[in-house]
Amino acid sequence: MSRSGILGFEKFVRLEDWQKIQDSCSEAFGIMLGTYDIDGNPVSKKSHSLRLSELIPVGIPGYEKYGDLCFVQKGFKPTEDDISRSKCPGNLDVFFFPIKTFGQNVVAFMSVGPVILNKREGMTFYSTHASKMGISLESMLDALIEVNVFSHSSIYDIVNFIESVFSYIARTGYHKRRLAEIAQEVVEIDPLFSSFYEQKILDSLLNSCVIVLNADSGSVMTVDKKDHLHIAASSRMDKDIVKNTDIKVGEGIAGVAAATSKSIVLPADSNKAGVSKNMKRDHIKSSMIVPFNKANSSEVYGVLSLNIMRKDREFSDKDIALTKELVNLASIALTSVG
C-alpha cells in the first residue's frame, strides 16, 4: 500500500505545470531533476537527462537503478526527514529530498543530480571505473562532459532552494484541494494560502541569491496597487529601513528598474539615465537590481536587489546570468501558488 496519505501526489498537482517548473529549474542550474512517488516510480519526465544514465549497463555490483534515474547504491532509500545523498558509479553523487504537503506527510521525492562534487577525477580513475562498468573510457569521458561540478556548499544551497520552491507548490495545491472538499464557501480563504506561500518563495529566492552569490545584503520589493514598492523580504538590512521603505515606481534605483523592466548593475550602469542621480549609498561597492513578474503576467511584480560592500568584489556577468535564472524560476513558482 502507498504511504502517500489521503491524497496522492497527482490529485492536487497539475503534472504539466510541475514538469514545466522542473524543466526550468533544471535548465537554470544545469542539473538533472526528477520526481518520483514514494515507491520510487517516476511521476515526471527527467529534466536535463544525462547520456550517462543510459550508458551504464545493468548489473554493476553494489548499485541498482532508482526509477529511471542513474544507478544509486544498492539498498538506498531516500529519507523522509531531510536531504539524503547516494553515490553513483564513477564517484558521482545524487541528492534526494521529500515533498511534504503537511506535517510529515511525504507524497513524493525529487532527485537532484548526478553531479560531480568539488573536482573531476584524473584519467587513471575514470579508466578504472569505465573498465568496471564495461564501457569504453572514451564513451565515459564524453558522457561526463554533461555532468556539472559543484562544491559541497553550493549544491546544498541549490538543493535547499529547489526543495523550498517545489514544496510550497505542493502544499498550496494540497490546501486548495482540501478547502474545496470541505466546503465551497471556504475556498474564499484560498488567497490567504496563496499569500503565505508567495512570501515563502520570495524568502527562499532572496536567501538562495545571497548565499550562492555571496552578497552582503539584499531585499525583495513588491509592487502594491498604488504602484509603490515595499520590502517583502530582506537579508542583513536595518529593521527601520525594511519597515519604512516606500518607493514609487519610477523613483529611486529600484523604482527605475521596475518602471523600465530592465536590470541595473552598479557601478557598470551608473551613467544610464535615471540611475546616477539616485545613487546615494557610497558604502555599497556593487549592486544588482533585477525586476521580475509572475510568469502569467507582463506587469512587474517585484524587484530583487543584492548588494556587496567589500572593496575586492563586484557582481560579474556570470552572477547576473545566474540571478536571472533564479528569478525566472521564482516567477514560474509564484504563478503556480497564486
Give the SS3 label for residue 221. Answer: strand
Beta bridge partners of 170: none
Burial of 68 (0-12, 13-18, 19+ CB in 10 A): middle
For the CA atoms of 135, 137, 140, 146, the dihedral, rounded to the nearest 10 degrees, stands at -170
Element (H, E) at 213: none
How far, in Å, CA of 97 to CA of 230, rounded? 33
The model's pTM is 0.70
What interhelical angle do 190-212 and 317-337 show, nearest 10?
Answer: 170
Q: Would you give per-residue pLDDT tens digits along the chain (338 residues)? A: 334 443 467 777 778 888 888 888 888 788 999 999 888 999 889 998 888 877 877 778 888 888 888 789 999 999 998 999 999 888 899 999 998 876 668 889 999 989 999 999 999 999 998 888 888 899 889 888 889 999 888 888 888 888 888 887 777 766 666 555 544 544 454 555 567 778 888 888 888 788 878 888 999 999 998 999 999 999 888 888 888 999 999 988 899 999 999 998 888 777 775 565 555 555 678 889 999 988 778 899 999 999 998 777 888 888 888 888 788 878 877 776 65
Residue whose C-alpha is closest to residue 307's, from 230, 209, 240:
209
Burial of 238 (0-12, 13-18, 19+ CB in 10 A): exposed
- A 10 A CB-CB count for 262 gives 13
All domains of the chain in start order, with CATH: 9-165 (3.30.450), 203-337 (3.30.450.40)
